[in-house]
Amino acid sequence: MNRTTSSVPVIRVGPPANPMKSPYFFQDPIRLSAMICAILLMWVQDVPFTLGLFAIGISQLNAVAMIIDILGSGWSSKFGRRTRSSLFTSCLAMDWVNVSVCTLIGAMFLMRLFGPPMLVTALGWLTIAIALVPDIRICRLMLPNDALKANAVLTDGWFFRDPVKLGALAAMLVVCFLDRTSLAFIFVSTILLQMGSLLVMVDKYLAEVEGASASKVPFRGLRFIVDRDGQRLLLALMPLMLVPLRMGTPDQVPQYVVGAIAALVVLPDLFRAIGRVVGSLLGLIPGRSKAAAARA
């Protein structure tokens, strides 16, 4: 019997079947709109009403875009528990990029109205660079395309295979060396235009962290330290928390803070690598290997 297949394309609503495939910038309406707005703000000297409405609209629509297809807690397990960290990290990385570019768009808009115009171009190039970072080939090769393999890397792998940790460390480094005028407008943009998006992002991912690690870590505060997904959420919020610290303290203080955070991220993996090397060397000793075989 001949089998006939339908030629009608299947329309899929929601995230793709492979959660590791993040969209390119021309497939992401928030990033694409932010890049267009950044170019216009760099080019236009006197901001018209429509461009200002466009900049503010992108900032407000970002909060709505983060909650599409996300209803209640448990959304990170929609593809199964074995791919939960993959979906959590992929969504957190893209939402963090969108919040960052929208914050910079708001800072550029406010700077065009009330600040020095010569800094708008620098923030515009920074916005475009952040928007294009997820599309760089090396970033897409950081994790395997298979969600199960990526989940194993994110659960037990090294810090340099984690896009959220590397992105947060890079963002904190940028905050340490950015001028104070730009930081002031970024801080005002965060408070006036991105507070809703930040609250949505925290609520979206905090519920997943609490639901996944409630049985493992009874104390809520420790979940941001022990659970890897909690560490990612905390690190994603660190660059914005570092902005007021950078504005109100000498330059050396935030640099020391970033150095301490980087040490907390890198040292556990370094100690684990040393432990594996020592374990391998001990396994090569004849007496040790025979004793281990006898215990087994």
- Span 90-149, pLDDT tens digits: 889 999 999 999 999 999 999 999 888 889 999 999 999 999 998 887 777 788 878 788
**Spatial distance between the Cα atoms of 234 and 132, rounded to a whole number of angstroms:** 23
- Span 4-50, pLDDT tens digits: 444 444 433 344 445 556 788 888 899 999 999 999 999 988 889 99
232-235: long-range contacts, CB 8 A cutoff, minimum separation 24: 232/88, 232/89, 232/92, 232/162, 232/164, 232/165, 233/92, 233/202, 233/205, 233/206, 233/209, 235/164, 235/165, 235/168, 235/169, 235/261, 235/265
Residue 25: per-residue pLDDT: 87
Q: What backbone torsions phi and psi does residue 277 show, to the nearest 5 degrees?
A: -65, -45
The SS3 call for residue 189 is helix
Residue 284: burial class (beta carbons within 10 Å; 0-12, 13-18, 19+): exposed
Task: Provide the whole-model pTM.
Answer: 0.82
Residue 11: per-residue pLDDT: 39
Categorize the per-residue pLDDT at 158 as very low, low, confident or very high, splitting at 50, 70 and 90: confident
Residue 39: per-residue pLDDT: 94
Average of pLDDT values for 257-282? 84
Q: What is the dihedral of CA 227, 232, 233, 238, to 10 degrees?
A: 120
Residue 284: per-residue pLDDT: 63
**Spatial distance between the Cα atoms of 280 and 275, rounded to a whole number of angstroms:** 9
Average of pLDDT values for 216-244? 79
Residue 206: per-residue pLDDT: 85
Which position has the higher pLDDT, 264 or 286?
264
Residue 227: per-residue pLDDT: 78
Average of pLDDT values for 221-226? 66
Residue 221: per-residue pLDDT: 61
Tell me which DSSP letter residue 48 carries: -
Categorize the per-residue pLDDT at 231 as very low, low, confident or very high, splitting at 50, 70 and 90: confident
- Span 38-86, pLDDT tens digits: 999 999 888 899 999 999 999 888 888 887 756 556 677 777 777 888 8
What rounded mean pLDDT belongs to the chain?
A: 81
pLDDT above 80 (res 280): no
Residue 223: per-residue pLDDT: 64
Contact assessment for residue 84 and residue 212, using Cβ atoms and an 8 Å cutoff? yes
Q: Name which of 48, 37, 42, 46 is nearest 101 in CA terms.
A: 37
Residue 217: per-residue pLDDT: 56
Kindly state the percentage of the chain with pLDDT values over 70: 81
Return the H-helix or E-strand segment holding 52. Answer: helix 49-66
pLDDT above 50 (res 289): no
